[in-house]
Amino acid sequence: MATAAQVKALVESHGQGDEARFYSVALQIADSAAKSGRVRFSEDLRNLVETGRVAGAGGRYLSPTSRAVQVAQPRGELAQVLTVGYPTAHLTDMALSLEVLRRIQRILAEQRRQETLRTHGFQPMRKVLLSGPPGTGKTMTADVVAGELNLPSFSIRLDNLVDLTVDEAVTKLRLVFDLVSQTRGVFLFDNLDALVGQPGQDDASAAAGSGGHLIRSFLGFLEEDESPSVLVVTTNRTQLLDRGLLRRFDVLIHYVLPTTGVIHDLIQRRLRKFDLTAVEWPRVASTAGGLSHEEVAAAAELAAKQSVLDGKDQVETSALLNALRERRELLKISS
């Protein structure tokens, strides 16, 4: 329990608007709770302090949007490459293979129980590499990790860095990593491929050019980072995954196109509020085969909107099949 002096200091600092003292007393309480074995409470309190500090709200309630703005503004130079949000996504929104699900759950468990791990001399996993084809949930996973851990999510647009000179880009990366160590959050470095060159470009020649310099700087920053933030890097190009890259990460998750079971699960999760009892799943799964999660989700929504327009709760097999075929047609045209 907090001592009487700590409670008084909390109330006093709140009354005086002394945010720094308020949080410092809260952290003292978290420390003594950890020492007396109440590790879970200590972790929760630390997380609350971190979130409060990020918001810079001084005790006032701010909506998630205004909190996001408060985080972004101090780093005006980063506006071009960084966006901030407070995702509310949850793991139950995702349809995943058991293997991918288990890995994400493991990251969340280690993050939630990091004090326990630290008291045993271990560090929680926090440098995460996600690879796989488009539309399989890599970016969504970063949102889910932030949503589940109640952390702000910072998304770094690596593709915007390549338009800058190498020096400018490295300076921006340094600012991003300063923020990584100052503010606990989930930092998504989306589409690492952008730093290496265009698809089809020979990776060896790209690595020798300015893209190669940038990626080496990025990996250097990544390696040096010892912050409490979670760093998520995504790539579509599995050929990038050599040992030199992989050793910088605590965990690698490979995403694949959805299997029959995952397609079924995805549609059920997306259309929770609809009656799916009449759906012939084997036909739906075979028509959806080869499409990404994103495409299947879009088709499910298309079919459900048809039901809404028709004033029905039930989604028909034929509507799902038509929507899936429509998505497939669209893909053919755009490829």
Ligand X SMILES: Nc1ncnc2c1ncn2[C@@H]1O[C@H](COP(=O)(O)OP(=O)(O)OP(=O)(O)O)[C@@H](O)[C@H]1O
Give the helix/strand (H/E) hosting 76: none
Cβ 143 to Mg ion shortest distance, Å = 10
Cβ 265 to ligand X shortest distance, Å = 8
Nearer to Mg ion, 51 or 139 (CB): 139
Residue 18: both structure tokens together:
């002394």
Other Cβ atoms closer than 10 A to 93: 14
- C-beta separation of 258 from 285 below 8 A: no
Q: Does residue 297 bind ligand X (CB under 6 A)?
A: yes
Nearer to ligand X, 297 or 315 (CB): 297
Classify 252 as helix, strand or coil. strand
Q: What does the alpha-carbon distance between residue 58 and residue 73 come to, in Å, rounded to a whole number?
A: 16
Q: Based on DSSP, count helices (H) and strands (E) in the chain, helices before strands.
A: 17, 6
Nearer to Mg ion, 93 or 316 (CB): 93
Closest to 6 (Cα-Cα) out of 28, 33, 35: 28
Cβ 315 to ligand X shortest distance, Å = 17
The phi-psi region of residue 37 (left if phi > 0; otherwise alpha if psi is between -120 and 50; otherwise beta) is left
Residue number of the CB closest to ligand X reads 137
**Residues 124-143, interacting with Mg ion (CB under 5 A):** 138-139
Q: What does the alpha-carbon distance between residue 329 and residue 322 come to, in Å, rounded to a whole number?
A: 10
Q: Does residue 294 bind ligand X (CB under 6 A)?
A: yes
Site string for ligand X, 93-112 (x = CB under 6 A): -xxx----------------
* Interface residue with ligand X, options 137, 147, 197, 211 (CB under 6 A): 137
Site string for ligand X, 242-271 (x = CB under 6 A): ------------------------x-----
Cβ 47 to Mg ion shortest distance, Å = 26
φ and ψ of 82, to 5 deg = -130, 130
Q: Quick one: which segment of 51-59, 89-97, 304-312, 316-324 binds ligand X (CB under 6 A)?
A: 89-97
Residue number of the CB closest to Mg ion reads 139
Supply the DSSP symbol for 128.
E
Cβ 125 to ligand X shortest distance, Å = 20
- Output the CA torsion 260→264→269→272 (10° steps): 170
Other Cβ atoms closer than 10 A to 314: 13
Classify 83 as helix, strand or coil. strand
Nearer to Mg ion, 138 or 172 (CB): 138
Cβ 82 to Mg ion shortest distance, Å = 16
Residues that bind ligand X (CB under 6 A): 94-96, 134-140, 234, 236, 266, 293-294, 297
Residues that bind Mg ion (CB under 5 A): 138-139
